[in-house]
Amino acid sequence: KAQCVVWFAQMGSPVAVQRQYARHYGLEGRAAANVPDSRSIKRWYDEYLERGHGKDLKKPKNWLDEHFRHRWMGRGSWNLPWPPYSPDLLPTHCDFFLWGYIKSIVYRTQPQNLDELQARIQDAFDNLPQEMIDRAIECYERRLQRCIDVDGRNVEQNYADEGNFLP
């Protein structure tokens, strides 16, 4: 219970607490029955605050609010809610096209062993069409410029205009 209260104070999300709990206690991929439900997490946190202990959990955030008003971001920021990393700054187009493309090349036929699999993966990356690489870089540069244009705030994730990367 106590660990969930601390995580909730840090993360502000019962779902994030559930994920952290599952990771911390090795329950990932197992029955969710062992992970506390959202209502319980919120109730435990509220009970903790009612006992007057919550002020200690809020001290770092209060200090940041006081000294860096509207200028700090992170978990629990009231001014700039932001994920622990910015998906806008990651070259995520690799997630959307590259791995599927590489997999289609590597698994045209089933590799016979781990060495063959590793060699096929290396070969697929070594032979990526330059045109595909160039388009991915151009798209990433446009996304970086969007982040600059909005002064670092989250960019709406609508990349339908980014085009097709496959040759």
Question: How far is Cα of residue 14 from the mean position of the Cα atoms in its chain?
Answer: 16
CB contact at 8 A, 108 and 99: no
Q: What is the mean pLDDT of residues 125-138?
A: 88
Q: What is the pLDDT of residue 132?
A: 87
> For 107, what's the count of Cα atoms within 13 Å in the CB-facing half-sphere?
6
Share of the chain above pLDDT 70, in %: 66
Shortest CA distance to 12 belongs to which of 62, 58, 63?
58
pLDDT band at 167 (very low <50, low <70, confident <90, very high): very low
Q: Tell me what the pLDDT averaged over the chain comes to.
A: 75
Q: What is the mean pLDDT of residues 25-40?
A: 75
CA dihedral 48, 67, 90, 25 (to 10 degrees): -20
CA distance 119 to 51: 60
CB 104 within 8 A of CB 128: no
Q: How confident is the model at residue 72 (pLDDT cuts 50, 70, 90)?
A: confident
Rounded-to-integer distance, Cα 37 and Cα 50, Å: 20
Domain coordinates in residue numbering, the chain: 2-67, 87-162
Please indicate whether residue 156 or residue 140 has the higher confidence score (pLDDT): 140
pLDDT at 150: 76
What's the average model confidence in pLDDT over 147-155?
Answer: 72
